[in-house]
């Protein structure tokens, strides 16, 4: 984006543009191209628009490069603004429209998210969750082996009365072996269907017959079940914020739409015209 030569000249440009600190604000003029002024505010705004990879670049390096970037852009703008093609003019109109619309939506979305709105959204979520069908969670362990011979060895070891956890640590090939096969708590839909069906068929304390899945042979022990508790706010905050913002931006659009006359004249127009780029040729 920036010419290497600009970085080499950083010190010289900074010295030339140095101004008393007390006099500097967003309106401070840093350069002029004809009658057009480039201000400190322009450079700050462009700094905010740079790609993420520039975030760690020191301001001392970026500042002169940004100033020169804006100068060169304005030179090109003044020379070519009046010679844009039809397609380019339409693209510029679309970009301006998109930028203004996005800025309005971002302001509305940001303003809508407050401690109070999040708390209200969480209260409504918790109430709805409590009124819904209980979600059962399962606490289970398993022993996973590859072959039928290993499966039979595991079954025999358990039949001898050896503790499930001990057999899991000795024979299981799953990462849970170090926890005695303990898989922790999970709800329906987390495990693969055949495994889940076997878990749901058990009573707490029971051990299943061997179950074959694409991973191998499982022997499963169901320890306990419980109804899923309402998730903590921190667990659902991102989803709540997204919904608050979606609602706020939709409300803004709807309220503005009601205040202006909108005529949608697109019905009946051939949709294939969308690909007719030749219509933009002058």
| 282: its two tokens | 């002058």
**pLDDT at residue 10 is higher than 80:** no
Mean per-residue pLDDT, 93-118: 98
Domain assignment present for residue 153? The answer is: yes
Domain assignment present for residue 88? The answer is: no
**pLDDT at residue 18 is higher than 50:** no
Least confident of 17-31, 94-108, 165-179: 17-31
Domain assignment present for residue 249? The answer is: no
Using one digit for the tens of pLDDT, what is the confidence trace for 210-267? 999 999 999 999 999 999 999 999 999 999 999 999 999 999 999 999 999 999 999 9
Number of domains observed in the structure of the chain:
2
Mean per-residue pLDDT, 270-280: 93
Domain stops at, among 227, 250, 269: 227
Mean per-residue pLDDT, 187-214: 96
Give residue 281's pLDDT band: very low, low, confident or very high (50, 70, 90). confident
* CATH number, domain containing residue 158: 3.10.50.40
Give residue 9's pLDDT band: very low, low, confident or very high (50, 70, 90). very low
d(CA 25, CA 81): 29
Domain assignment present for residue 59? The answer is: yes
Domain assignment present for residue 100? The answer is: no
Other C-beta atoms lying within 10 Å of the C-beta of residue 181: 25
Domain assignment present for residue 118? The answer is: no
Domain stops at, among 207, 227, 247: 227
Domain assignment present for residue 232? The answer is: no
Give residue 13's pLDDT band: very low, low, confident or very high (50, 70, 90). very low
H helix runs in the chain, sequence order: 4-8, 10-17, 40-49, 59-80, 86-112, 115-131, 148-159, 164-171, 193-200, 233-258
Q: Are residues 145 and 216 in the same domain?
A: yes
Regarding pTM above 0.85, the answer is no
Q: Which domain holds residue 63?
A: 4-81
Domain stops at, among 212, 227, 242: 227
Domain assignment present for residue 27? The answer is: yes
Q: Are 180 and 169 in contact (CB under 8 A)?
A: yes
Which has the closest alpha carbon to 191: 213, 165, 221, 161? 213
Q: What are phi and psi of 191, to 5 degrees?
A: -90, 165
Using one digit for the tens of pLDDT, what is the confidence trace for 124-154? 999 999 999 899 999 999 999 999 999 999 9
């Amino acid at each position: 984006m920036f010419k290497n030569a600009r970085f080499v000249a950083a010190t010289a440009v900074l010295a030339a543009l140095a101004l008393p600190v007390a006099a500097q604000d967003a309106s401070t003029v840093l350069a002029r191209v004809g009658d057009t002024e480039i201000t400190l505010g322009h450079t700050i705004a462009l700094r905010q628009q740079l790609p993420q990879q520039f975030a760690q670049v020191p301001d001392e390096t970026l500042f002169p490069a940004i100033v020169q970037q804006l100068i060169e852009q304005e030179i090109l703008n003044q020379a070519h603004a009046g010679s844009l093609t039809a397609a380019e003019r339409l693209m510029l109109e679309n970009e301006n429209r998109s930028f203004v619309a996005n800025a309005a939506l971002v302001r509305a979305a940001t303003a809508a998210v407050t401690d109070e709105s999040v708390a209200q959204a969480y209260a409504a979520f918790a109430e709805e969750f409590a009124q819904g069908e209980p979600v059962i969670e399962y606490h289970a362990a398993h022993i996973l082996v590859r072959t039928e011979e290993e499966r039979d060895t595991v079954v025999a070891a358990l039949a001898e009365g050896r503790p499930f956890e001990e057999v899991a640590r000795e024979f299981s090939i799953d990462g849970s072996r170090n926890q005695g096969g303990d898989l922790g708590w999970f709800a329906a839909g987390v495990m693969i269907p055949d495994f889940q069906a076997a878990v749901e068929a058990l009573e707490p304390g029971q051990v299943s017959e061997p179950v074959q899945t694409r991973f191998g042979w499982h022997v499963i022990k169901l320890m306990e079940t419980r109804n899923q508790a309402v998730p903590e706010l921190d667990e659902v905050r991102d989803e709540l914020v997204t919904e608050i913002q979606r609602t706020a931006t939709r409300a803004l659009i709807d309220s503005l739409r009601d205040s202006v006359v909108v005529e949608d004249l697109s019905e009946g127009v051939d949709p294939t015209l969308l690909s007719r780029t030749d219509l933009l040729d002058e």
